[in-house]
Structure formats: C-alpha cells, structure tokens
Structure 1
C-alpha cells in the first residue's frame, strides 16, 4: 500500500489531471494525447481556436438561474467547480480576478448543454457546504455567524449537514457566503477575540482544512475526496498497518514488511495514534 502523502487529482476526466497533477493512468494519458493530436490537426488546418467568447455562456447561466437552476446546480451537473462556473457571471469576491470573458470549447459545451426541461432544481450532497463552514471556522468565524450570514437558522447550522442531501439553493447561498467571509476579518464584524480564539482552536483540534488548502486541491465539493490536511506519514502508516492486521490477518512484522518500514516504526505509529492500534497487536 502507498504510504506517501501526495497531491491526488480530484477527478480523472479533465486535462488538468495529466498536466497539473501528473496523473499517468492510461485513460488520462490517452485523453491528453488525443487532445494533442486534435490540436495539431486544427493548427495545420488553420482552425485552432482554443478560447471562445464567454458571453453566450454567461447569458445561458443567467437564464438557467432565472428558471431556478442555480450556479451550484450547474457545477454539480457539469463536473466543474462552483468557482469556475460563477466566474462567468461575477468576479471573485475579495480578489482582483475579473469576470471570465473567455471559455474553452469543452467548458462552453458542458454548460450550454444544460436546459430547464431536463434539469430541474434539486438536491446536492452537503459535503461542500460543510467544508466551507469548517474552513471559515479555521480563520476565526464561529459557525453561528456563518449561519446567520447565509440565511440559515442558527439551530440548524449543523443538522443540515447530517442529511444525505440538501437543497441546491441553500448550498449556493453557503458558497456565496463563504466567498465573501473568507476575505473578511471576524474582529471587524463584531466577533470577540475570545470567540475567534475558540473557533480557531476548535478547527485545529478537528484538523479542519482552511480555505487556502481547498484553493490548492480544488476538490471542496468532491464527496469522494479525502482531505489529507495535517495527516503525517506516521499516521498513514498506523492506518495502513491497522487495515493489514485486522483485514488481512497479518502480524506486525508482516505488516511492516508490506509497508516497507521497520517494526519499530509501526510501534511508534501506534503509540502516537492509539486509535489505530489493534487490541491484540502482535
């Protein structure tokens, strides 16, 4: 089993998987090579036009929104990030990034293919909204303040994440609130120093990733992505050794050999992370 902490691609259906995450799965390599061949042919024929005017995409998104299909819903249907889709209708809150005026053919085709007849406003997975709440806590925002800004009753600020699905409109409100609050200082909005310290400590104790982490990995809405924020190699070894010993029936020496570490390393890993130590560890 692989015990190294590395940056995994949040998906395997885009060119960024190959170019940005150095993924070399056969299907990803084939996709990249096919794109390269198409590009070379188009250049030779004088038809290469990688970017298009994004105005049709912007107008289509506004029409969809008017019909009740939110930007968050479009992102879920197309596999694009919320931030990427939102960029066609408005600038990035708190940053200098302007509205997007150019778009690739692939992205334009995905968005323009959505219509109100086939896709009605629906429910989405709550993981992205929950992670946004948690990320704001890491920079000192108590969840009660986040809930109020997002138009959510404070008493519901945790229960809404316990269901398997939530309203797409609620998810979009939370995403918009996150984009605003992440660039604001809690102290300037009436949050006491004690509350800020308590919020940051809560996030640190639970190892919640901050906004910068999600900016880097780009998978805040991916329910299948497991964040590795502040997870050490020793903890990963403890997890893997636990799995080998409890699932495969290996003893500690055999598990160490499988993980290419010394038995003493597993001993240290279990001492630091006793929650993974099997009760009858050999």
Structure 2
C-alpha cells in the first residue's frame, strides 16, 4: 500500500487546479490549453515578458490601504492573488516586485475604495481569522476588549451569516496585528491562553501558521481547511467525493487514491458520515 493521496483542488477558476492538483476536468484542461497556447504565441512574438513598471500600481494599493482597505479586500475585488498584492507593496515573502503585467496592473488600478469595501460581506474569512487567533491563544474576550466591543461580541460574530464590510476590515486588521504575537506577552494570562488553544484544538480551528500556507484561501468559502483532520478521514472524504461524482466503485476509487480497497473500508467504518449509502 502506498501513502500517496490525491487531493481535490479547492476551486476550479484558475490554472492552479491543473498545475498544482493535477486536475483534468475538461473545462480546466481547456483553460490551461488556452493559456499555454497564448503563452507560446506571445513568446514567438517576443511579447510574453512585456512587463511594466509597478510603481503606479504600488502607489494605488497604498492609497487604498491608507483609506482603510485591507490587502485581502483589494485581492478579492481585483481577482489578483493576495500574495501578489503583498509582493507589490513589499510585504511578501518572495521579495519586492518592481514590475508587473499590464493585465494585472489594469485590474488593480480599476479597484476603488467603494469597490473594495461593500456594505455587507460573507463572514467566512472573518470567522477563520477569529478562530485562528483563538488557536494562537487569544481568548475571544480579549479580542473584544482590544476592539472596544462589548463582551461576547466576537462570539456572536462567529455565528453570524452576514457581517458588515467595516467589521470584516477591522477584524482582518486586528488579525494582522496579533497573528505573530505571543498572547502571554501581551496581557493574556497563561491559563487563559492555554484554555483558548485547547478550545480551538477541540474544534479543529486552524492557527495562523496554517493559513500562511494558503494565503488566498482564508476568504474562500469553497476552500475546505483540512487542519486537524486525520489521514483516514481525508481518504474517506476523497473517496466519497470520487464515488459520488464519477460513479467509480471502491476498487477503482482506491486505485485512483493510491491506497488499498481495505483502507477505504476502514476509513468509511471510522467516518460513516462519508460512506455512500450503496457503496460498491
């Protein structure tokens, strides 16, 4: 038995699913083929690396940030990956980006403060940021106090289906401020920090270090975080998805996942919520 597991892509609207997750859905193959054909054509014409000075783009991003618009919101409004936004302003782990493509520049320059700060937003990213801070040892009551909110406000936000855009920005800014700090050195008693971490672990809330690996996924409601999930549960989830969407039986599904059929049997036994009603 091998240990290789093919993970499904978190989304299918960029080239990532094809290049990083080996996705071969027809529409994703067509998207990559079109991109590659365009790349080859532009390389032959000598226009593939036709980059422009990123200074106007960087200044525009900084003006938006000075107005209170967070990089994550700029990324969402422009459709540009968050890491690319960070790189352009010199806050990325890959270094400072001095040039960018005309298409990227146009998308970012088209973002206005009004576009980037809607009245109401999906709370997925806000929930995950609060959960991550708890996983790092920040009790919700301490976050309440830092934001000047009444007690239990953060707990209520975690249960809300829609939140204000201004609330999202405030909590995202607080997340950026606290994510790398040790709570015990900033006013949180050690016992309370320990309780917060235990609570997060019990709920399998991912810490900031997990989201650092997926910077564009924290706001993506279609991305399913796998933090704290056992290998056997992952296999059960993947097998369920494959069998439901492709009609393959357990033997064929096991071959696709690179595991024995008996491993899928054990995975469904331990996690019956994923077992098909009529598994082959």
- TM-score tier after normalising by the smaller chain length: 0.7 to 0.9
Q: What is residue 136 of structure 1 aligned with on the other side?
A: 133
> Displacement of 1:75 after TM fit?
2.9
Q: What is residue 78 of structure 1 aligned with on the other side?
A: 78
Q: What is residue 104 of structure 1 aligned with on the other side?
A: 101
Q: Does 82-91 or 178-187 show the bigger shift?
A: 82-91
Show CA shifts across 1:221-279 (max 9, x none): 11122222222354457779999xxx9xxxxxxx9789768789757855x558889xx
1:72-221 alignment, distance < 5 Å = 72-82=72-82, 84-89=84-89, 91=91, 100-115=97-112, 121-218=118-215, 219-221=217-219
Show CA shifts across 1:172-225 (max 9, x none): 222222122121111111212111211111011111112222222341111122
Q: What is residue 224 of structure 1 aligned with on the other side?
A: 222
Q: Does 259-268 or 5-14 show the bigger shift?
A: 259-268
- Number of residue pairs aligned between Structure 1 and Structure 2: 271
Distance 1:50 1:13, change over 3 A: farther
Give, in whole Å, the separation in 1 of the partners of 2:30 and 2:268. 40
* Structure 1 unaligned regions, length at least 5: 248-254, 278-282
* Structure 2 unaligned regions, length at least 5: 255-259, 276-280
TM-score when normalising by structure 1: 0.73
Distance 1:26 1:99, change over 3 A: same
2:58 is equivalent to residue 58 of structure 1: yes
Q: Does 146-155 or 136-145 show the bigger shift?
A: 146-155
Give, in whole Å, the separation in 2 of the partners of 1:70 and 1:274. 41
Q: Does 202-211 or 105-114 show the bigger shift?
A: 105-114
Give, in whole Å, the separation in 2 of the partners of 1:129 and 1:100. 28
Q: Does 42-51 or 230-239 show the bigger shift?
A: 230-239
TM-score when normalising by structure 2: 0.74
Distance 1:23 1:240, change over 3 A: closer
Give, in whole Å, the separation in 1 of the partners of 2:94 and 2:146. 23
> Displacement of 1:97 after TM fit?
6.1
Distance 1:114 1:259, change over 3 A: same
Q: Do the aligned partners of 1:238 and 1:276 also contact (CA within 8 Å) in 2? A: yes
> Displacement of 1:51 after TM fit?
3.9
Distance 1:239 1:18, change over 3 A: closer
Q: What is residue 257 of structure 2 aligned with on the other side?
A: none
Q: CA RMSD in A?
A: 4.3
Distance 1:6 1:197, change over 3 A: farther
> Displacement of 1:139 after TM fit?
1.9
